């Protein structure tokens, strides 16, 4: 029988759990993290809350992470939770989701990688379950979670939306997280989400301990026993429970002979019979719940008959040592018991037991082959059988690769590499050591584990250098090392050393892919070093690549030449060629580079919408392929462009996801910069600077071009009204920016005039204003006039003319241009609207209104501009700008029209179409106009935007909804309306 621990006290914590579950039941999803030391009662408390919710009609999914599972499995607590739900639920939804009643129905990608990404399928399954009724998902012992499970949990939490009836409860031991433990960063990032909270469990006090003793019916005087138990347990509930149990069975007058947790656990175990101790030893070494009949079979070779094993399991359950899981397997009531029992065995005893378990897994019939490989690798490693451990680690890596569990694949390959020095000559003879090391390096690189990738590549290079008859293999390793070393540092460390070494190695192989790539990577490094030789080397790369005609050579050659032609039509065309090749290659890393080349080129050519769409496509593609680190990189670039274009509703969930998807320091820093920008624009100053500080820790030495940290710092300073901080940073780095990229220099010039304009309302002779003008003059002189700033690339370039108009108005604001500012700010409003730079458009309208009101000019015109600015700022959630607008309106006694169902730009209703991502409020307003039969000009007039901006919104609506044209869009809306799909207000879509 199962013995449950006595739960007493904990009312505040119980209330916190109930609150999260109750809010979720009403459509407000949330995650609650329950943490504390081992034995403090986390599992018991969460289990009680989940069972109460289940008794009230909620779906309950309960999964546990296992200590061994952190190293060898993928999605363990989720498959366990979904499996338990399938076994214990009998609803129509279950029949629809899993007709055969197996987890494979819900997550087919676990065994069929062509069916999609397991992470997304787990998210879809949980979402489908909550759509059937309130759902409580428990993930216990998160400190042992496998990387894929953390990803799945992040994905669920990042996808929280109003209306979801999902409560996620997680427990973890905060006393067992070493420095560098992945859960530190995961928890820190999770807690920045508004739907995530945390509660700590402390030790019990004297009053609660007395309740516990009374509840257990301990002998003797309750007060004395409680005091004794409290002293000996230190207030740890689990230890106290063991002490009470021991004292209850001891003779009167005997004192408990334990004082430490490990001793208490050992004492509990020593009370078992010899057969009970042997069976539980087997269970402890197994490291995971074991089916009862399997445990019986394992016990036979150790002198315990099946009948004795059955009695032993019953005895252990009666003593509160083991429990029966929902699947009928046997496991420990508390994981500490498994740890303590296993630790008490001699090394050889543990090794022998691991050998037995390996033999059992080897012979097992009807088990999942992925589980077989994972546990055979684990048990052979622990048994000290290096040859078999090596073989099964490779098999487990292959199994992980089939479901795109990149971090688990990397872990298994790194284990195999570490075993090589201990392999027998016979096994070593069949191993392609260099091939294994390069594969391990590539997989670690894709998983964002740059340190292990570097170690594996360098080991491979050392081996290939010993036999110099293979220059191409050596070249491939050097090219891989070039990129890893650059990513572990930053663009500043993108040296030319490795590409030059490859060029020397391939001099006798003039038509090799490796030589083409070496020229390309050399040119790429030279672009960011400001070298004049980049163009010539990029041309050499293209000539060779077109002869070689392989995807890696072509992507890198066209991409490098595109970067050397920064800000030109030719550069865009080269990048488009690279992207076309990269999109057709079965290589997520190569695809990621091609997307970066194209996004950079489009941005430099002033085509932000296309740059953002390209990066967003790359983000989704890489995410769905399980390439999370590369996806985080693409998502960070998408965020930067989307913020400029006013796509903030799309940006918010992406920022949350990229913060949890990023693995390498470089990509984590990129994600932090994106988060800092969003926080700053939303007015969350402290959070913005926190993200920037973390990015600086991850990238301590950066350059201003090719890295987002310094530009992000400038934009954060501007957003939080620290113009001198922005100007100082710009002046410090402008010379280096000009040397590398005039396109970037123009953007910095715009930031400089914006910063100086923020001080325009200070007295002309104020020291701060004078200092700002001097810095602005310095920045302008450093930029120079050759070519003239903000020169458009071509007729498609609408961004640089908008920058020019903004700069002209901001520069004039600094010097007090008088009435001329009317026309300058008017031009800036029109140009930013044409370019789709929504946030800058709002700034321009606010500045125009402020100028008009300050000069006593046309109040009605100022009110219109102020209303436009307020509408945009409110839609975006740009709180600082919104506050400035409202303050100016109040000071000027201007009553702005209300926004909402009956405000300007809406018909009083919004049709919600299925869109991914959901339509923003402004897009819904445009959709409203389309469905009302308005022309683009009529919609533009109603919403105070340009025809061009309306057209851009319509394109986005069609893309998000999948409609081919506005006729199909109207038909979909009509069908939705016929089925009750219309509602009042502005929702987020279905």
Residues 456-467 have a mean pLDDT of: 90
Q: What is the mean pLDDT of the chain?
A: 84
Quick one: pLDDT band at residue 257, thresholds 50, 70, 90?
A: very low
What pLDDT does 546 receive? 96
Alpha helices by DSSP H, listed for 605-627, are: 608-624
- Is residue 253 predicted with pLDDT exceeding 70? no
Residues 216-226 have a mean pLDDT of: 51
* CA pair distance 971, 975, nearest whole angstrom: 6
> Helix, strand, or coil here: 762?
coil
Label residue 205 exposed, middle or buried (CB < 10 Å: 0-12, 13-18, 19+).
Answer: exposed
Listed range (266-275, 292-301, 302-311) with the worst mean pLDDT: 266-275
pLDDT for 851-892, tens place per residue? Answer: 998 887 788 899 999 999 999 999 999 999 999 998 898 888
Quick one: pLDDT band at residue 140, thresholds 50, 70, 90?
A: very high
What pLDDT does 247 receive? 64
pLDDT for 381-410, tens place per residue? Answer: 999 999 999 999 999 999 998 888 888 999
Quick one: pLDDT band at residue 454, thresholds 50, 70, 90?
A: very high
pLDDT for 890-932, tens place per residue? Answer: 888 888 876 543 333 333 344 556 777 777 777 887 888 777 6
Alpha helices by DSSP H, listed for 140-205, are: 147-158, 182-190
- Is residue 171 predicted with pLDDT exceeding 60? yes
Place of tokens 């990803």: 151
What pLDDT does 177 receive? 73
What pLDDT does 989 receive? 29
Higher confidence at residue 94 or residue 905?
A: 94
What pLDDT does 430 receive? 92
What pLDDT does 779 receive? 95
Q: What is the DSSP letter of 758?
A: T
- Is residue 107 predicted with pLDDT exceeding 90? no
Measured CA to CA in angstroms, residue 737 lies from 704, 723, 733, 740, 746 at distances of: 6, 19, 6, 5, 9
What pLDDT does 904 receive? 35
* CA pair distance 612, 640, nearest whole angstrom: 8
SS3 per-residue string spanning 531-596: CCCHHHHHHHHHHHHHHHCCHHHHHHHHHHHHHHCCCCHHHHHHHHHHHHHHHHCCCHHHHHHHHH
Percent of the chain with pLDDT over 70: 86
Quick one: pLDDT band at residue 772, thresholds 50, 70, 90?
A: very high
Token readout for 240 is 């106290």
* CA pair distance 806, 689, nearest whole angstrom: 27
Instruction: Name which of 494, 495, 522 is nearest 506 in CA terms.
Output: 522
Residues 37-63 have a mean pLDDT of: 89
What pLDDT does 221 receive? 40
361 near 287, Cβ under 8 Å? no
Place of tokens 């002779």: 765
Alpha helices by DSSP H, listed for 234-334, are: 237-249, 261-270, 274-286, 292-299, 306-318
What pLDDT does 261 receive? 52
Return the bridge partners of 200, or none.
Answer: 35
623 near 631, Cβ under 8 Å? yes
* Residue 830 CA, distance from chain mean position: 37
- Is residue 334 predicted with pLDDT exceeding 90? no
pLDDT for 680-699, tens place per residue? Answer: 999 989 889 988 988 888 88
Quick one: pLDDT band at residue 256, thresholds 50, 70, 90?
A: very low
What pLDDT does 638 receive? 95
pTM of the complete model: 0.76
Higher confidence at residue 221 or residue 312?
A: 312
For residue 540, give every residue at least 6 positions away whose Cβ sits within 8 Å of its Cβ, in sequence order, or none. 519
- Is residue 225 predicted with pLDDT exceeding 70? no
What pLDDT does 405 receive? 85
What pLDDT does 703 receive? 77
What pLDDT does 222 receive? 43
Q: How many Cβ atoms from other residues are within 10 Å of residue 234's Cβ? A: 14
Listed range (23-37, 233-247, 948-962) with the worst mean pLDDT: 233-247
Q: What is the DSSP letter of 493?
A: G
What pLDDT does 69 receive? 57
For residue 686, give every residue at least 6 positions away whose Cβ sits within 8 Å of its Cβ, in sequence order, or none. none
Residues 633-642 have a mean pLDDT of: 93
What pLDDT does 974 receive? 53
Instruction: Name which of 341, 412, 382 is nearest 70 in CA terms.
Output: 412
Q: What is the DSSP letter of 219?
A: S
């Amino acid at each position: 029988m199962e013995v449950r621990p006595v739960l007493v006290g904990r009312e505040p914590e119980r209330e916190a759990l109930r609150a999260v579950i109750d809010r979720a039941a009403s459509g407000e999803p949330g995650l609650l993290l329950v943490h504390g030391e081992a034995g403090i009662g986390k599992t018991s408390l969460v289990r009680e809350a989940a069972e109460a919710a289940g008794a009230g009609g909620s779906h309950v999914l309960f999964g546990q992470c296992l200590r061994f599972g952190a190293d060898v499995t993928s999605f363990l607590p989720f498959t366990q939770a979904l499996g338990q739900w399938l076994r214990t639920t009998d609803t129509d939804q279950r029949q629809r989701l899993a007709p055969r009643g197996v987890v494979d129905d819900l997550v087919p990608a676990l065994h069929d990688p062509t069916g999609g990404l397991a992470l997304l399928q787990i998210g879809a399954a949980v979402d489908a379950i909550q759509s059937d009724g309130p759902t409580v998902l428990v993930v216990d012992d998160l400190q042992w979670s496998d990387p894929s499970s953390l990803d799945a949990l992040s994905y669920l939490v990042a996808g929280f939306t109003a209306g979801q009836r999902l409560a996620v409860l997680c427990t973890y031991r905060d006393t067992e997280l070493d420095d560098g433990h992945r859960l530190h960063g995961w928890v820190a990032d999770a807690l920045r989400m508004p739907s995530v909270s945390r509660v700590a469990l402390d030790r019990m006090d004297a009053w609660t301990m007395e309740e516990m003793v009374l509840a257990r019916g301990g002998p003797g005087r309750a007060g004395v026993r409680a005091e004794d138990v409290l002293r000996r347990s230190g207030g740890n509930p689990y230890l106290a429970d063991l002490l009470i149990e021991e004292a209850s069975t001891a003779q009167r007058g005997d004192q408990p002979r334990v004082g430490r947790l490990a001793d208490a656990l050992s004492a509990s175990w020593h009370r078992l019979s010899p057969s009970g101790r042997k069976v539980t030893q087997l269970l402890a070494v197994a490291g995971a719940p074991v089916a009862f009949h399997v445990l019986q079979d394992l016990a036979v070779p150790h002198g315990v008959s099946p009948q004795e094993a059955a009695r032993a399991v019953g005895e252990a359950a009666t003593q509160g040592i083991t429990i029966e899981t929902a699947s009928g397997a046997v496991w420990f009531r508390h994981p500490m018991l498994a740890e303590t029992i296993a630790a008490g065995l001699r090394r050889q005893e543990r090794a022998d037991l691991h050998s037995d378990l390996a033999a059992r897994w080897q012979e097992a019939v009807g088990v999942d082959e992925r589980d077989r490989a994972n546990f055979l690798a684990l048990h052979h490693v622990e048994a000290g059988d290096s040859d078999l451990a090596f073989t099964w680690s490779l098999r487990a890596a292959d199994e992980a690769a089939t479901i795109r569990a990149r971090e688990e694949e990397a872990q298994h390959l790194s284990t195999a590499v570490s075993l090589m020095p201990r392999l027998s000559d016979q096994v070593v003879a069949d191993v392609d050591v260099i091939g294994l090391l390069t594969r391990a390096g590539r997989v670690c690189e894709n998983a964002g584990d740059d340190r292990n990738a570097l170690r594996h590549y360098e080991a491979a290079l050392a081996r290939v250098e010993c036999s110099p008859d293979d220059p191409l293999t050596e070249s491939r390793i050097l090219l891989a090392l070039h990129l890893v070393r650059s990513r572990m540092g930053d663009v500043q460390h993108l040296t030319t050393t490795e590409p030059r070494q490859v060029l020397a190695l391939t001099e006798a192989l003039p038509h090799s892919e490796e030589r083409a790539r070496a020229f390309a990577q050399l040119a790429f490094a030279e672009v960011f070093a400001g070298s004049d030789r980049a163009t010539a080397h990029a041309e050499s790369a293209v000539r060779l690549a077109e002869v070689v005609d392989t995807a890696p050579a072509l992507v890198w050659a066209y991409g490098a030449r595109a970067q050397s032609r920064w800000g030109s039509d030719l550069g865009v065309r080269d990048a488009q060629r690279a992207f076309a090749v990269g999109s057709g290659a079965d290589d997520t890393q190569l695809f990621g580079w091609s997307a970066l080349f194209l996004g950079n080129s489009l941005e430099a050519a002033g085509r932000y919408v296309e740059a953002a769409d390209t990066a967003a496509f790359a983000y989704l593609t890489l995410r769905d392929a399980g390439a999370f680190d590369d996806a985080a990189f693409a998502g960070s670039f998408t965020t930067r462009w989307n913020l400029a274009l006013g796509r903030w509703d799309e940006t918010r969930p992406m920022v949350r996801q990229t913060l949890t998807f990023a693995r390498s320091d470089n990509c984590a820093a990129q994600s932090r910069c994106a988060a800092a920008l969003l926080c700053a624009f939303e007015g969350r100053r402290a959070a913005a600077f926190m993200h920037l500080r973390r990015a600086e820790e991850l990238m301590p030495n950066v350059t201003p071009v090719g890295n987002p940290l310094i530009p992000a710092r400038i934009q954060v300073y501007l957003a939080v009204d620290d113009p001198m901080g922005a100007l100082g940073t710009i002046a410090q780095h402008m010379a280096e920016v000009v040397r590398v990229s005039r396109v970037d220099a123009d953007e910095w010039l715009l930031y400089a005039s914006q910063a100086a304009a923020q001080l325009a309302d200070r007295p002309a002779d104020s020291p701060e204003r004078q200092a700002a003008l001097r810095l602005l003059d310095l920045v302008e002189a450093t930029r120079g006039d050759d070519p003239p700033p903000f020169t458009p690339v071509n007729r498609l370039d609408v961004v640089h003319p908008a920058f020019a108009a903004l700069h002209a108005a901001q520069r004039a604001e600094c010097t007090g241009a008088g009435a001329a500012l009317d026309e300058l700010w008017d031009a800036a409003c029109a140009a930013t609207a044409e370019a789709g730079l929504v946030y800058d458009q709002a700034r321009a309208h606010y500045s125009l209104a402020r100028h008009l009101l300050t000069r006593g000019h046309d109040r009605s015109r100022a009110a219109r501009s102020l209303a436009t600015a307020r509408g945009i700022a409110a839609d975006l959630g740009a709180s600082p700008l919104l506050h400035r607008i409202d303050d100016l309106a109040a000071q000027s006694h201007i009553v702005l029209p209300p926004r909402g169902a009956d405000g300007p730009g809406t018909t009083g209703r919004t049709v919600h179409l299925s869109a991914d991502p959901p339509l923003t409020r402004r897009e819904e307003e445009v959709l409203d106009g389309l469905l009302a039969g308005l022309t683009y000009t009529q919609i533009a007039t109603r919403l105070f935007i340009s025809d061009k901006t309306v057209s851009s919104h319509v394109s986005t609506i069609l893309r998000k909804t999948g409609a081919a044209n506005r006729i199909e869009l109207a038909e979909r809306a009509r069908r939705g309306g016929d089925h009750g799909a219309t509602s009042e207000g502005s929702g987020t879509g279905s």
